[in-house]
A and B are shown apart, each in its own frame.
Chain A
Amino acid sequence: MRCLKAQRLISDHIDNLLKGRQAQALEQHLKECPACRELLNEMQMIAEEAKNLESVLPSEDLWERIESQIPKKSRRSRSRLSGIGRFFRFSLYSRELAFSGSGLLAGLVLMTLFYYGTPSMRNDRGITGQVASNQFEEVDRQYQLAIEALNQAILEQNVELSPDLAAVFEENLEIIDDAIRSFRTAMNEYPEDQGANEYLLICYRKKLELLGEMKDLMMRSG
């Protein structure tokens, strides 16, 4: 094992997150490498010192100040559609990051409205062409791995986008993540209806596209 790899594993090691071969390989490396042993000791010390950072409390009257500024009761509205609605609405007016193909987008809106129409509408609709549930888990896993890999690649770019552009990306990603959560909720509420699976995969694809654009921009900036 090289020191670079060992350094990353040491951080997980002090949190007891390493198992099996990785743990064994690291322990072997530590026996042979004084520099990494020193890093292990220092990281343990950092984690220990962090626990002892002083805790501070706000003023006693802060709640009164906060309460006086909370708006009077607003009407409660918790729509299952709101996250998905934001996803599409924001995508339409975010010019820099608009998803390619307005026809596809319009189709997605219609499909979503159709899906979230009524239970009877959902029951009437067949599942032809949808990803079978036993395949879905694997596809879902692969998408999540791809997203994680792309996230990692972005982090490793070590380039910072302008705050405004970064904020636009963050807001778009938040909207897509909201939509992903909404479709997951729908999947849990209606497990017999696999329609949400497909829309979830569409969201994953959009997230991958967005992260890909982000990475390209960073590469061009760097």
Chain B
Amino acid sequence: MNSQKEKIGDTAFNGSNRSESLLDIIRRCQDGDRKAMEEIYSRYRSSLFNLTYRYTRDLSSAEDLLQDIFIKIFTRITKLRAPEAFRAWVYRTAVNACISSTRKSGRGKHIPLTENDNPDEAEADNSHIRLDMEKAVSILPPKQKAVFLLHDVQGFTHGEIAQVMKWSEGTSKYQLFRARMKIRGHLKDIRP
């Protein structure tokens, strides 16, 4: 399992050239083309894995969940009626699976996050800041966590989140506000 200190990005939707061919790739997936499925996987694996990781807080469980999500996506892709709504559909599938996994594992179950084994001294401070934020994100209710991760971490707009969550943009804004307030409260508790 690799870990990168780079901004989490959704390569599937950044850059118009790649987006133009996405519809063709989706259609090939619908026809059962395994190469096209692998292409979809490589485009989405990073952003979806970062979602599943923040729900499971464990790399191995996050991989299992990611595996379930992609199997679900490729099994159901033949039924996708509007390929142009593929992105929202993929993230909706992922978020629903993440929320279900939270329900199955039990609300409030606390799994401690592990710190980097040997962080460089220069990075020690940043590492602590990140760890505080990871802990704060972990206490969010499942849907608020989805909005926070999609908006503040992955850079979705409220319009895009509304499509994923099947909410209005106003609801997305309100949920993000609630999520940020909860994180603020938590950070105040753990940062003197």
- Residues of A whose CB lies within 8 Å of any CB of B are 7-8, 11-12, 15, 17, 39, 42-43, 46-47, 49-59, 62-63, 65-67, 69-80, 82-83, 144, 147-148, 151-152, 155, 163, 173-174, 177, 181-182, 185
Contact = CB atoms under 8 A, between A and B. Distances in A.
B128 to A, nearest CB: 11
B59 interface: yes
21 contacts: A43-B180, A53-B130, A54-B3, A55-B6, A56-B4, A56-B50, A63-B41, A63-B45, A66-B67, A67-B38, A70-B37, A70-B74, A70-B75, A71-B75, A74-B32, A77-B78, A82-B81, A144-B168, A148-B171, A152-B170, A152-B174
Interface in B136-155: 137, 148, 151-153
B3, B168, B176: most-surrounded residue (chain A CB, <10 A): B168
Nearest to B47: A55
B109 interface: no
Interface string B39-82: 00110011001100100000100110011001100110011111
B180 A47 contact: yes
A67 B133 contact: no
A12, A63, A66, A82: most-surrounded residue (chain B CB, <10 A): A66
A102 B63 CA distance: 46
Nearest to A72: B32
Contacts of A173: 166
A163 B137 CA distance: 22
Q: Which 4 A-B pairs have the closest CB atoms?
A: A73-B32, A50-B152, A11-B177, A148-B168
B67 A62 contact: yes
A185 B78 contact: no
Contact of A8 (B7, B133, B174): B174
A56 B41 contact: no
